[in-house]
Amino acid sequence: MQTELSRKLGVEHAVFGFTPFPAVAAAISRAGGFGVLGAVRYTAPDDLKRDLDWLDAHTGGLPYGLDVVMPAKKVEGVTEADVEAMIPEGHRRFVRETLARYGVPELVEGEASGWRITGWMEQVARTQLDVAFDHPIRLLANALGSPPADVVARAHDRDVLVAALAGSARHARKHQEAGIDIVVAQGYEAGGHTGEIATMVLTPEVVEAVAPLPVLAAGGIGSGQQVAAALALGAQGVWLGSVWLTTTEADLHAPALTRKLLAAGSGDTVRSRALTGKPARQLRTEWTDAWDDPAGPGTLPMPLQGLLVAEAVSRIQKYEVDPLLGTPVGQIVGRMTSERSVQAVVDDLTRGFEKAVDRINRIAGRSGQS
Ligand SMILES: Cc1cc2nc3c(=O)[nH]c(=O)nc-3n(C[C@H](O)[C@H](O)[C@H](O)COP(=O)(O)O)c2cc1C
């Protein structure tokens, strides 16, 4: 599974893996793919430094990347406290009442919420970049929107490639104008923030819109056959997020969540604003149902919703409150039916890719040429 881009980055397979877990990112790179660590959950730069140091020690010089959430527009001088103050009391009450209805215990005094999604904030993301550029990252990806021009320049000065996620050809062209190197075309079926266009439709649209810029296809990919399909659509590689959640290296901190993911079907996710205020695909739970219920107060815009629910999500996670327990995950969850190592996932992708190529060769009347 080699393409011009995988050769440029020096990886064996054109498989890019997004993950919030350093152990998974390292294992993806060691398995011949390209591990990308998500930085959004890190609020303290020292924690990110510790984990990037760990990655350096466990990737043996193999390339890896970092994914940040950096808005292109600067919002100067806004603190987390300013944003907290904008959250209406009625919404806070709704959170309290919902948690009480399910008997969700409080966090222990002084226990920090592990799920504060503040990495989106300009100042937090910038301190993350200072840490990241002290490490040998080969790729910097930006989740929501084009990265600011000075960040692109700083990355290029250090020979770091810049990628950005796009849910439409229009967004992809904006990224191209911002001077990035790789577009990740992320379809509707993906876990996390998504647009409304499916990967099958989006990938060739983006490939055509930004040519000759390399495009990675993301969303709904969990088998080698799907990798082959993405490459056939013109992608230079694939970008996978959901499949790593049920790997043995992933640390979801909640065995009940792993069980739910393994049991879920492809129809058990929902694109909901419950987690961050922007539509993000996740497991459908009684928590997402409560937020999406027209009888409720409705969600707040980003970043208010993320701050509003951060502690609640931590409590649900910590106490594994089954009906409310969820995570961002895509429709491919229906194929995630057993816990496997990252290496086993990559081996399976390789085998499935070869099968797909053989099949297409047979159909095209070129048997034995794969
Ligand atoms: C648990 C989880 C968290 C995610 N968080 C981020 C994020 O912080 N930044 C980002 O760029 N993408 C994030 N994504 C999206 C992935 O980068 C990727 O585009 C997506 O998972 C691909 O689709 P798939 O889930 O069908 O593999 C997340 C995905 C999952 C499953």
367 within domain boundaries? no
- Indicate if ligand 1 lies below 6 Å from the C-beta of 327: yes
Task: Provide the 3-class DSSP secondary structure of residue 107.
Answer: coil
Can you tell me the distance from the alpha carbon of 103 to that of 318, in angstroms, rounded to the nearest whole number? 13
User: 183 and 36, same structural domain?
Assistant: yes
349 within domain boundaries? no
Q: In terms of Cα–Cα distance, which of 138, 105, 166 is closest to 37?
A: 138
- Indicate if ligand 1 lies below 6 Å from the C-beta of 224: no
- Indicate if ligand 1 lies below 6 Å from the C-beta of 238: no
- Indicate if ligand 1 lies below 6 Å from the C-beta of 181: no
363 within domain boundaries? no
CA of 121 to the centre of ligand 1 (A): 18
Chain centre distance of CA 274: 17
CA-to-CA separations, 185 to 59, 73, 178, 206, in angstroms, rounded = 27, 22, 16, 7
- Indicate if ligand 1 lies below 6 Å from the C-beta of 104: no
- Indicate if ligand 1 lies below 6 Å from the C-beta of 142: no
131 within domain boundaries? yes
User: 104 and 65, same structural domain?
Assistant: no
User: 167 and 230, same structural domain?
Assistant: yes
275 within domain boundaries? yes
pLDDT recorded at residue 156: 98
Last residue of a domain, one of 177, 210, 243: 243
CA of 241 to the centre of ligand 1 (A): 5
User: 126 and 51, same structural domain?
Assistant: yes
CA of 79 to the centre of ligand 1 (A): 26
pLDDT recorded at residue 108: 83
User: 263 and 189, same structural domain?
Assistant: no
Task: Provide the 3-class DSSP secondary structure of residue 328.
Answer: strand
- Indicate if ligand 1 lies below 6 Å from the C-beta of 18: yes
- Indicate if ligand 1 lies below 6 Å from the C-beta of 239: yes
Torsions phi, psi for 261 (to 5 deg): -65, -40
370 within domain boundaries? no
- Indicate if ligand 1 lies below 6 Å from the C-beta of 188: no
User: 131 and 7, same structural domain?
Assistant: yes
Q: In terms of Cα–Cα distance, which of 269, 254, 260, 241 is closest to 331?
A: 269
Structure tokens at 25: 């990112």
Q: In terms of Cα–Cα distance, which of 6, 1, 35, 2 is closest to 182?
A: 6
User: 125 and 16, same structural domain?
Assistant: yes
352 within domain boundaries? no
Last residue of a domain, one of 243, 272, 301: 243
Structure tokens at 312: 């609640």
Question: 270 is in which domain, residue-wise?
Answer: 79-114+252-339
Pocket test for ligand 1, best of 15, 16, 18, 171 (most atoms within 8 A of CB): 18
Last residue of a domain, one of 211, 243, 275: 243
Task: Output the pTM of the full model.
Answer: 0.95
Residue 225 sits in a domain of what CATH number?
Answer: 3.20.20.70
pLDDT recorded at residue 370: 46
Structure tokens at 158: 């250090």
Strand 192-193 to 215-218 pairing: unpaired
pLDDT means per 10 residues, the chain with 370 residues, are 96 98 98 96 91 97 93 66 90 97 88 56 81 97 91 96 98 97 98 97 98 98 98 98 98 93 98 95 98 96 90 93 97 98 98 98 78
User: 282 and 185, same structural domain?
Assistant: no
User: 140 and 31, same structural domain?
Assistant: yes
Structure tokens at 37: 């660590």
User: 318 and 281, same structural domain?
Assistant: yes
Chain centre distance of CA 239: 9
Specify the residue with its C-alpha closest to ligand 1, atom 6.
192
Can you tell me the distance from the alpha carbon of 336 to that of 263, in angstroms, rounded to the nearest whole number? 8
The string over 202-234, giving b where at least 16 C-beta atoms fall within 10 Å of a residue's C-beta and e elsewhere, is bbbbbbebbeebbbbbbbbbbbbbbbbbbbebb
359 within domain boundaries? no
User: 152 and 50, same structural domain?
Assistant: yes
Can you tell me the distance from the alpha carbon of 341 to that of 332, in angstroms, rounded to the nearest whole number? 17
The string over 177-194, giving b where at least 16 C-beta atoms fall within 10 Å of a residue's C-beta and e elsewhere, is ebebbbbbbbbbbbbbbb
In the chain, the number of structural domains is: 2
pLDDT recorded at residue 126: 84
CB atoms within 10 A of CB 307: 20
User: 123 and 96, same structural domain?
Assistant: no
